[in-house]
Structure 1
Amino acid sequence: MPTENRSSNTDPRDVFIRLNPLGLGEAELRKDSTGFVDQRTHSDYLLFLAGYRESHPEPRHHAEPIAWMVGTAIWWHKDGAERDYEERSEPMIPLGPCDSPSEIARVTAQFKEWQASLTATTAKPPTSAMNCADNSTKRADCCIPRAFGSQTG
């Protein structure tokens, strides 16, 4: 089955007609304002639509961070995290959904950069420091370290 574009301007009825999974005739595929003129076709279309929506989910939007981590401290308000960041030499890392591999790579690189700066000064990083690629739940939709539990969507 070909992949279909799920943008807001794609009418699933047109997809149903183009694929014609039941081999229906032209008269049975006539559309009306909300579905199909033929009630049997409309019922079949509703089943098709449920499967179509299940296999073509709406794109997820990137949510804002739900918390920030500075060192081993978790801040629920960004202003507290920013104050803590200014007082310490540790990075401020946003926590929350990160559903793209590039976001996981960015957070991992940020952590490794910070870790390398500590190695240069012979300081030891906290054991619960965040590194999505190594310490998280290994799910691409969650960047909360195991030490603090995970939240999945």
Structure 2
Amino acid sequence: MAGAKIDYGFRREGIHYEFDGKVVDIDFTWCNGDRIYTDSIDRWNDDETISDKDKRKVLSDVLRFTNEVRRAIVVVSTDDPSQKLWEEVCRELSSLVQGIEYTSDQKQRHFEREMYLGTLRRGLGLNINGVEIRTEDELDQVLTKLTKRSRSD
């Protein structure tokens, strides 16, 4: 891996990547196909922004690493400023990539809302950040506050 040290996390959830004294933990899952979440290749563990050159190297190295088991799906957020870079790397290494799966912040929020609604409909207790939720309206209020908070971070 050209000097990079790469390992799977516990139960193959996540990938730990080290190179030249820098570390990044990459979101990865194997459920329904190996998936590499590129939005987690953004900052080194010391909070330094990962340069485009290093992003390209990290994804390339990780694709070669995961290919030892099987080709991965690369998950790219359409909200990510590096979307074009990720697509370029996937084109260049297409033999190592099963496909690109697109996601977005809005799509993720919708997925989470539906998951929470399912919990409410089953009559199970729902608590988000210490707030008890009993109705769909209460859920929407909490999710709206969380969305506003995450946008201001």
Q: TM-score, normalised by structure 1?
A: 0.23
Higher strand share: 2
The structure that has the greater radius of gyration is: 1
